[in-house]
């Protein structure tokens, strides 16, 4: 089902921080603190992970705002409640302390990430990929991922003045190949998409 793509020169390595690619992150966000729950300092967390049971395997989490160095917190307990995670962390014992952490990302070190199955990727691996058609037309670079109810959509900013922004559904039949080493994604666009 997947087609092989020609590989660009080896100077296009992902994760090196060179050639316009972002460096490999040190942490992965698994949740976002959206508020407090109750009076005893529980954090109400929007899940950013496909497997919320992963919190049961953690002894510590790292909290911080985006683009800041996160700080470690001992994870006392977690539970799931109405589609969210409720976390109790050591040192956060009342509602005001929990509210003060609103907007913080709950993160884990990248080396503690749950291994992905073949064909699955972390978002940071997709953002920055160059997008090519099966006919070898360069469409641009993925700058953002939009989460819809049914599938993700890759936001591609064009390689030329005629291609400003393209929204590519991340579904089988459209995304044919992801080659992280080459820094490229190969697509077959549906009729009329651009």
Q: For 43-53, how does the pLDDT look when each residue is reduced to its tens digit (9 = 90+)? A: 999 998 888 88
How confident is the model over 61-103, as pLDDT tens digits?
999 998 889 999 999 999 999 999 999 999 999 999 999 999 9
Distance of CA 47 to the CA centre of its chain: 12
Distances (CA, A) of 121 to 69, 71, 111, 115, 144: 24, 26, 15, 10, 14
The sheet carrying 138-147 orders its strands as 165-169, 152-158, 138-147, 130-133, 184-187, 175-179
Q: Are 21 and 28 in contact (CB under 8 A)?
A: no
Kindly indicate the confidence band of residue 21, based on its pLDDT and cuts at 50, 70 and 90. low
More reliable by pLDDT, 9 or 162? 162
The β-bridge partners of 64 are: 105
Quote the CA–CA distance of 138 and 184 in Å, as a whole number.
10
Quote the CA–CA distance of 13 and 181 in Å, as a whole number.
6
Say whether 125 sits in a helix, a strand or coil. Answer: helix
Distances (CA, A) of 49 to 71, 85, 118, 170: 20, 11, 17, 18
Q: Are 181 and 11 in contact (CB under 8 A)?
A: no
List the single range of 15-19, 29-33, 103-107 with lowest mean pLDDT.
15-19
Sign of CA dihedral 13, 144, 98, 112: negative
Using alpha carbons, select from 79, 101, 95 the residue that is nearest to residue 40: 95
Q: What is the pTM of this model?
A: 0.71
> Who contacts 14 (Cβ-Cβ below 8 Å, separation ≥6)?
21, 125, 128, 129, 180, 181, 183
Quote the CA–CA distance of 77 and 90 in Å, as a whole number.
9
- Residues counted in the chain: 194
């Amino acid at each position: 089902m997947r087609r092989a793509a020609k590989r660009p020169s080896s100077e296009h390595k992902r994760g090196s921080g060179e050639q316009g690619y972002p460096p490999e992150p040190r942490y992965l966000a698994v949740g976002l603190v959206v508020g407090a729950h109750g009076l005893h300092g529980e954090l109400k967390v929007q899940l950013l992970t496909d497997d919320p049971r992963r919190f049961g395997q953690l002894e510590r989490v790292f909290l911080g705002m985006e683009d800041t160095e996160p700080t470690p917190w001992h994870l006392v307990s977690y539970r799931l409640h109405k589609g969210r995670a409720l976390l109790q962390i050591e040192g956060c014992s009342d509602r005001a302390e929990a509210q003060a952490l609103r907007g913080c990302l709950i993160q884990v070190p990248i080396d503690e990430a749950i291994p992905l199955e073949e064909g699955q990727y972390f978002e940071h691996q997709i953002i920055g990929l160059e997008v090519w058609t099966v006919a070898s037309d360069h469409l641009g670079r993925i700058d953002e991922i939009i989460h819809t109810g049914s599938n993700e959509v890759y936001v591609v900013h064009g390689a030329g003045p005629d291609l400003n922004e393209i929204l590519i559904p991340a579904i089988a039949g459209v995304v044919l190949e992801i080659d992280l080493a080459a820094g490229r994604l190969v697509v077959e666009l549906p009729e009329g998409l651009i």
